[in-house]
Amino acid sequence: MPDLQKLYSLALELHEQDKPDQAVALYERILSNIPDADLVLYNLGLALYALEQFTAAPTAFLRATEINPTDPDYWFNGDLALKQTGKFTLALAAYEKALALQPADPDILYNMGCCHQAAGDRAEAAAAYEKVVAVSENHSSALGNLAYCTHLQGDYDRAAVLYRRLLALRPDHTAAGYMLDALEGKNTSAPPPEYVRRLFDGYSENFDQDLLENLSYRVPQLLCSLLVDAVGPGCKEKQVVDLGCGTGLSGRAVFEYASSLTGVDLSAKMVEEAEKKGCYDELVVGDVVEYLMGLPQSVDLLLAADVLTYLGDLDPLFKAASESVQVRGLFCFSTERGDDEDWQLRVTGRYGHGRKYVQALADRVGFQVLACRGADIRKERGRWIAGDLYLLQKI
């Protein structure tokens, strides 16, 4: 029999040296001899988690809890791994076990809130974050998430109070500053890129389900219908760039038009999800305006589904778009409908754009408006949001 203590010491050393793959092999070798070594199972779970093996990691953690159900760390890390697999009900049950062993622990409560939030239950998430800030008033992550959940629930006065409290702790918290601007009616021209990146990174795993099932999102299909009505069905003859591609719903909708299809998005995790759709020839993590300004040659079609709602002043985007498409090339996009004369940052943290504003901007940079169609683009708290669908052509 091998010297298991030496093997375990070596496994821990490799693990600490950030070599989890090598550590896993040794942990598994030890467990083949001592299958009920709960601490080894726990460390195996940590190593598998570091390798992003989120299906195998919970098995190791939960096996450790079967052997030793009194260690809250086993439950806690099992919860984290289960959350990564989207098994929110199982994760929350494990968090409850951990909380019973360590009542009012802020880390457990915070992660319960994150789990509820990821599952789309903002009310339960907010309740968990409230408990965190009650026992740890300077817990800025819980305070930020509580403010955001409260904001999404439509309690704007309470959300503003929470954002101010967070900014008192973290004056550099750009997301809180931006959302407070929205609530206070300040017309900030664009959100901080890190705000957008973090928002959609955190939303990526459940983005499609939430948009399609909960928000009745249909902008990609509506834009594709606008294209069909204006220029006919796709024949896979256009070089297409999908701006703010997200998880690839829009790329899939416009796929029949594309001889080549490129997706661009600020969120790396969104791009990872888009890659799974299998419809893109190229995917780029980056700012859409910067990408367009760096294009080596013009393209035939730019698509921006639900992207302009996260931009206020559209002048930089329209200039870059005009310089990026060929003569008679197309720019197809959606907006949330705003006042006719201008753009506005709304209390939701998104932007509305008026039709006269879009028309004037199109005229200025060399686009003709081929089509503009009003549409209900998605739901928010059970109500439809009015939007506009545009098809512009370079002249």
CATH number at residue 293: 3.40.50.150
Interstrand relation of 383-394 and 367-380 (parallel, antiparallel or unpaired)? antiparallel
pLDDT given at position 208? 47
pLDDT > 70 in the chain, percent: 95
| Single-letter residue type at 62 | L
- Residue 327 belongs to some domain of the structure: yes
Phi, psi of 168 (to 5 degrees): -65, -35
CA–CA gap between residue 97 and residue 85 (Å, rounded) = 19
- Residue 37 belongs to some domain of the structure: yes
- Residue 261 belongs to some domain of the structure: yes
Q: Within this chain, do residues 284 and 378 fall inside the same structural domain, yes or no?
A: yes
Q: Residues in the chain, how many?
A: 395
Q: In 160-192, which positions are buried (b, 16+ CB within 10 angstroms) versus exposed (e)?
A: bebbebbbeebeebebbbbbbbbbeeeeeebbe
- Is the separation of the CB atoms in 288 and 317 below 8 Å? yes
**The overall pTM is greater than 0.85:** no
pLDDT given at position 204? 43
Residues sharing a CB contact under 8 Å with residue 28, sequence separation 6 or more, in sequence order:
44
Q: Within this chain, do residues 243 and 133 fall inside the same structural domain, yes or no?
A: no
pLDDT given at position 210? 54
pLDDT band at 243 (very low <50, low <70, confident <90, very high): very high
Task: Evaluate if residue 206 carries a pLDDT over 80.
Answer: no
pLDDT band at 193 (very low <50, low <70, confident <90, very high): confident
- Residue 9 belongs to some domain of the structure: yes
Q: Within this chain, do residues 118 and 241 fall inside the same structural domain, yes or no?
A: no
Q: Within this chain, do residues 172 and 225 fall inside the same structural domain, yes or no?
A: no
| Single-letter residue type at 249 | L
The whole-number average pLDDT for the span 289-306 is 96
CA–CA gap between residue 156 and residue 145 (Å, rounded) = 14
CA–CA gap between residue 113 and residue 204 (Å, rounded) = 18
- Residue 35 belongs to some domain of the structure: yes
Q: Within this chain, do residues 130 and 231 fall inside the same structural domain, yes or no?
A: no
pLDDT band at 332 (very low <50, low <70, confident <90, very high): very high
pLDDT > 90 in the chain, percent: 76
Instruction: Give kind and range of the element (H or E) at residue 230.
Output: helix 219-231
pLDDT given at position 195? 82
Among 90-94, 165-169, 202-206, 225-229, the range scoring the smallest mean pLDDT is: 202-206
What is the number of structural domains in the chain? 2
CA–CA gap between residue 174 and residue 147 (Å, rounded) = 14
Q: Within this chain, do residues 217 and 364 fall inside the same structural domain, yes or no?
A: yes
- Taking all residues of the chain, what is their mean pLDDT, rounded to a whole number? 91
For residue 38, the domain's CATH number is 1.25.40.10
Q: Within this chain, do residues 216 and 169 fall inside the same structural domain, yes or no?
A: no
The whole-number average pLDDT for the span 190-209 is 68
Phi, psi of 187 (to 5 degrees): -90, 65
- Is the separation of the CB atoms in 143 and 119 below 8 Å? no
Among 28-32, 99-103, 213-217, the range scoring the smallest mean pLDDT is: 213-217
In 3D space, the residue among 302, 301, 270, 299 whose CA is nearest the CA of residue 284 turns out to be: 270
- Residue 189 belongs to some domain of the structure: no
Instruction: Give kind and range of the element (H or E) at residue 88.
Output: helix 88-101
Q: Of 149, 184, 219, at which residue does a domain stop? A: 184
Q: In 366-379, which positions are buried (b, 16+ CB within 10 angstroms) versus exposed (e)?
A: bbeebebbebebbe
What residue numbers bound the domain in which 258 lies?
203-394
Q: Within this chain, do residues 156 and 226 fall inside the same structural domain, yes or no?
A: no
Q: Of 184, 217, 233, at which residue does a domain stop? A: 184
Q: Within this chain, do residues 178 and 273 fall inside the same structural domain, yes or no?
A: no
104: left (phi over 0), alpha (psi -120 to 50) or beta: left
Q: Within this chain, do residues 146 and 250 fall inside the same structural domain, yes or no?
A: no
- Residue 194 belongs to some domain of the structure: no
- Residue 330 belongs to some domain of the structure: yes
234: left (phi over 0), alpha (psi -120 to 50) or beta: beta
Residues sharing a CB contact under 8 Å with residue 119, sequence separation 6 or more, in sequence order:
88, 206
Phi, psi of 156 (to 5 degrees): -70, -35
Q: Within this chain, do residues 159 and 249 fall inside the same structural domain, yes or no?
A: no
Q: Within this chain, do residues 347 and 225 fall inside the same structural domain, yes or no?
A: yes
- Is the separation of the CB atoms in 175 and 194 below 8 Å? yes
